[in-house]
A = this chain, B = another copy of it.
Amino acid sequence: MNTVVANAPLIIQIHEADNVAIVANDGGLPAGTVLPNGLTLKDKVPQGHKVALVDLPAGAPVLRYNVPIGYAVETIEAGRWVHERLLQMPEARELEGLPKATVAAPALPPLEGYTFEGYRNADGTVGTRNILAITTTVQCVAGVVDFAVQRIKSELLPLYPHVDDVVGLEHTYGCGVAIDAPDAIIPIRTLRHISMNPNFGGEVMVVSLGCEKLQPERLLPPGVIPISDERDPNAGLDVVCLQDNEHVGFMSMVDSIMKTARKHLERLNARRRETVPASELVVGVQCGGSDAFSGVTANPAVGFCADLLVRAGATVMFSENTEVRDGIAQLTARASTPEVADAMIREMAWYDAYLKRGSVDRSANTTPGNKKGGLSNIVEKAMGSIVKSGSAPISGVLSPGERLNGQRGLIYAATPASDFICGTLQLAAGMNVHVFTTGRGTPYGLAECPVIKVATRSDLARRWHDLMDVNAGLIADGEKTIAEMGWEMFQLMLDVASGRRTWAERHQLHNALVLFNPAPIT
């Protein structure tokens, strides 16, 4: 990548073969500006938008990341603004004949000696937070659980100083849904696996209504989280069921929840952080509210950091189906085995069919904000999104809602790109640190796991000084290299995993758990 650094004007060309570059200056650049390469702008070009570096005849491929992000619909002269209406989007790559595991794994020497302070769990995972989670079988109980959580926070939590928080795992599933439909496995296993997230220490408690479709035994079947307590075989099912006869009046329901919470809080409170190797990190990365800088600053730095994590033996998940679809050939080539490539293809094919059922395709991904931010279409967005995955071989693939089962290294966790749904599915997969890059800006957060938010531009980082944890805009400003920023993120992840609070945690800002349910509602 050539980054041209100057007071003004600034343009960024990603690959030497590219015939467009983006304007980096705040506020864009006016027509007539002479660029560092000698070219004169023929149009005003907004920040993050593309300028043609050479004359592009009609039909010529417009190259960014050395990939055709579209074809010129008319002659575009050097110096003109290459906006979305000048580009004809390429067709999606067919899923036949893809290269499989053809790229030799780059030399990524092991990285040793890095550690963090985490909570070791009985199942071998490591938590970065010590949270009491109250899982729920159905939306029906949400009001009661909300009420109880407020009381637990104010009355009980102060008595258990080693417990970080109490979280009601509210969701909209559990009844009024076609629970035996083929695709219902996705929301069900998502809820199941979220309950098993490392940050809950295996001490999740369960609140059920009683008559719902998603019964506790179906949510948490034997072998998952024991809802009959092995330590106390006479205790019966460790589920607060609101319809039980013992509940007389609303307050008795709240009392039951609080009484059960106390048992779990006792155990959680006895836990202490201990030094564990960095290989216990399970990092989920995603981007949201993306702009043209996402693929130039924040995402490449995340990608560099992803390689560091893989070198340290940790697990990194990247996701967002509609944002990798146009780079599928790169990814299947990078798969560690043909089987992993086949799993990637299976996920893409499933998603293509899912979108088609709803009469749309991958191009439904892009937002007004993306386009305003300079991303012309999903192909350009995808290229900037995929760089979060770094350069390691892809060693595994998870279907939506599946949980890691010993896999390490770089994993493709297949999810929609929707920020809340991707975050929810990465929680289910077992994430203990979340990294979220944003260009337009979003106050995103999760109650279940720390979220490190990375700004793509210094302007956003300055304005949202108490929401953005990292300013990757320093890369475009020429003040940091991608490698420096990647190492900084790596260190910050270890700090956050050890207990350092992110901005979202300090404000207690978080979004809803949002399930991916491709099956019908009844």
Q: Please give the residue numbers on chain A whose beta carbons come within 8 Å of chain B beta carbons, in ascending order.
A: 139-144, 147, 170, 172, 175-183, 209-213, 215, 242-243, 245, 247-251, 253, 288-289, 322, 354-355, 357-360, 362, 364-365, 367-370, 372-373, 416-422, 440-445, 463-467, 503-504, 507-512, 514, 516, 518-522
Chain B minimum-CB-distance residue to A463? B248
Chain B minimum-CB-distance residue to A416? B521
B211 and A443 contact, CB distance less than 8 A: no
Which residue of A177, A209, A360, A465 has the most chain B CB atoms within 10 A of its CB atom? A360
A522 and B417 contact, CB distance less than 8 A: yes
Find chain B residues with CB under 8 A from A177 CB: 418
State whether A355 and B209 are in contact (beta carbons under 8 Å apart), knowing that A140-B511, A365-B522, A441-B242 are contacts in the complex: no
- Beyond A139-B511, A250-B503, list 6 extra A-B contacts (CB 8 Å): A172-B420, A178-B360, A211-B289, A248-B465, A360-B522, A518-B521
A357 and B522 contact, CB distance less than 8 A: no
Find chain B residues with CB under 8 A from A445 CB: 143
Q: Interface majority SS on A: helix, strand, loop or mixed?
A: loop
B140 and A211 contact, CB distance less than 8 A: no
User: Which of B147, B355, B370 lies in contact with A520, CB distance below 8 A?
Assistant: B355
B139 and A514 contact, CB distance less than 8 A: yes
A504 to B512, CA, bound (A): 22
A520 and B354 contact, CB distance less than 8 A: yes
A510 to B143, CA, bound (A): 5
Find chain B residues with CB under 8 A from A247 CB: 463-464
A322 to B247, CA, bound (A): 31
Shortest A499–chain B CB gap in Å is 21
Find chain B residues with CB under 8 A from A463 CB: 245, 247-249
Find chain B residues with CB under 8 A from A443 CB: 140-141, 143-144, 242, 250, 253
A140 and B444 contact, CB distance less than 8 A: yes
State whether A211 and B372 are in contact (beta carbons under 8 Å apart), knowing that A357-B357, A520-B358 are contacts in the complex: yes
Shortest A381–chain B CB gap in Å is 11
Find chain B residues with CB under 8 A from A357 CB: 357, 520
A478 to B175, CA, bound (A): 33
A364 and B416 contact, CB distance less than 8 A: no
Find chain B residues with CB under 8 A from A248 CB: 463, 465
Shortest A57–chain B CB gap in Å is 32
A292 to B21, CA, bound (A): 69
A421 and B511 contact, CB distance less than 8 A: no
What are 20 A-B contacts with C-beta separation under 8 Å?
A140-B443, A140-B511, A143-B444, A143-B509, A172-B420, A175-B418, A178-B355, A180-B364, A182-B359, A211-B368, A242-B441, A242-B443, A243-B369, A243-B440, A249-B464, A250-B443, A322-B522, A362-B522, A418-B521, A516-B521
B507 and A421 contact, CB distance less than 8 A: no
A253 to B142, CA, bound (A): 28
A442 to B443, CA, bound (A): 34
B209 and A289 contact, CB distance less than 8 A: yes
A419 and B242 contact, CB distance less than 8 A: no
A144 to B522, CA, bound (A): 32
Find chain B residues with CB under 8 A from A209 CB: 289, 440-442
B367 and A213 contact, CB distance less than 8 A: yes
A369 and B180 contact, CB distance less than 8 A: no
A420 to B509, CA, bound (A): 25
B142 and A511 contact, CB distance less than 8 A: yes
A362 to B69, CA, bound (A): 45
Which residue of A420, A443, A466 has the most chain B CB atoms within 10 A of its CB atom? A443
Q: Which 4 A-B pairs have the closest CB atoms?
A: A211-B369, A176-B418, A358-B520, A143-B509
